[in-house]
Amino acid sequence: MTTAKRIDGKAKAEQLAGTITEQTASLLSEHGIKPGLAVVIIGEDPASQVYVRNKKRRAESCGFYSVQHSIPADTTQEEVLRLIDELNNDDAIHGILVQLPLPDHLDEQTITQSISPSKDVDGFHFVNIGKLTAGHTDDAFIPCTPAGCMLMIEDELGKDLSGLNAVVMGRSNIVGKPMASLLMKQNATVTITHSRTKDLPQVVAGADIVIAAIGRAEMVKADWVKPGAVVIDVGINRVEKTIDGETKSKLVGDVDYDDVCSVAKAVTPVPGGVGPMTITMLMFNTLRSARLAAGLEG
């Protein structure tokens, strides 16, 4: 029985963050510019609080100017739009991120589309989505999760994915659709599956590259996976597990990691795979935005 390589997203993210920190220091010493990231969090969602805290910590460790706007769940849409307008016009801010999900009374589309495309480090603005879909990645902000997944895929398989089949499980705007665009740009043959897909295991079995972004704990099993495939697990699911008679809460992905390791070539673990890369790509996008604002190459 083979055992897949564990793709160490944490180590790769640390390495990349080191390069970003060095480039941030040069930008400051040579051009007097400090990348500025503003994160807006609305309400008290506990998972969002953790994500935002990690983003702030990472921004500070890279040497960025980092501001967090924590505003109450009952803030009106007009107040949120006013804050975004202020941040759009603040020269010290190069990246704006409004943490999702939003409270029900706020309109996600209006809010994400009100962020200036040049500060949209999440890559959710239609201008950036359009550029990515058209293959103009040089001057687009790419959503952080798929951008991080692509760097890990590139480490395993190189930049040119000609002749390889990729199956993206999940059709979200944050992961599935941009992931498919990036894979196509690198010449992969891409299938997107979703909740209405027929014979899902059979479709996945044809994939040299599997991206699981469905939000179902440990759904992808070894007998779904082609021997030698590269498997990227975007899922983060909290489950109760009983080990040695003790029940504990644990984070697992959409992939049954131990099972799939018996057939795949390489698999990302959860935690320690895609998650740390996603945060680091946010720093990458913010540094890039600061460089572009200063008239430098991104």
- What HEC string does the chain produce? CCCCEECCHHHHHHHHHHHHHHHHHHHHHHHCCCCEEEEEEECCCHHHHHHHHHHHHHHHHCCCEEEEEEECCCCCHHHHHHHHHHHHCCCCCCEEEECCCCCCCCCHHHHHHCCCHHHCCCCCCHHHHHHHHCCCHHHCCCCHHHHHHHHHHHHHHCCCCCCCEEEEECCCCCCHHHHHHHHHHCCCEEEEECCCCCCHHHHHCCCCEEEECCCCCCCECHHHCCCCCEEEECCCEEEEEEECCEEEEEEECCECHHHHCCCCCEECCCCCCHHHHHHHHHHHHHHHHHHHHCCCCC
- Is 122 annotated as catalytic? yes
Residue nearest to ligand GUN (CB): 100
- Is 241 annotated as catalytic? no
Q: Identify which of 239, 236, 207, 205 has the alpha carbon closest to the alpha carbon of residue 222.
A: 205
- Is 250 annotated as catalytic? no
Q: In this complex, which beta carbon is closest to ligand GUN, that of residue 230 or of residue 282?
A: 282
Distance CA 261, CA 238 (A): 21
Extract the tokens encoding 92. Answer: 């010290």
Catalytic residue among 12, 23, 99, 119: 99
CB of 100 to ligand GUN, least distance (A): 4
CB of 112 to ligand GUN, least distance (A): 8
Q: In this complex, which beta carbon is closest to ligand GUN, that of residue 204 or of residue 214?
A: 214
Which residues contribute to the site for ligand GUN (CB under 6 A)? Answer: 97-100, 122, 144-145, 174
Extract the tokens encoding 244. Answer: 């040695």
Catalytic residue among 12, 55, 226, 265: 55
CB of 162 to ligand GUN, least distance (A): 29
CB of 165 to ligand GUN, least distance (A): 26
CB of 273 to ligand GUN, least distance (A): 15
CB of 275 to ligand GUN, least distance (A): 10
Q: In this complex, which beta carbon is closest to ligand GUN, that of residue 144 or of residue 231?
A: 144
Q: In this complex, which beta carbon is closest to ligand GUN, that of residue 35 or of residue 275?
A: 275
Catalytic residue among 23, 119, 120, 122: 122
Q: In this complex, which beta carbon is closest to ligand GUN, that of residue 7 or of residue 38?
A: 38
Q: In this complex, which beta carbon is closest to ligand GUN, that of residue 16 or of residue 98?
A: 98
State the catalytic residues. 55, 99, 122
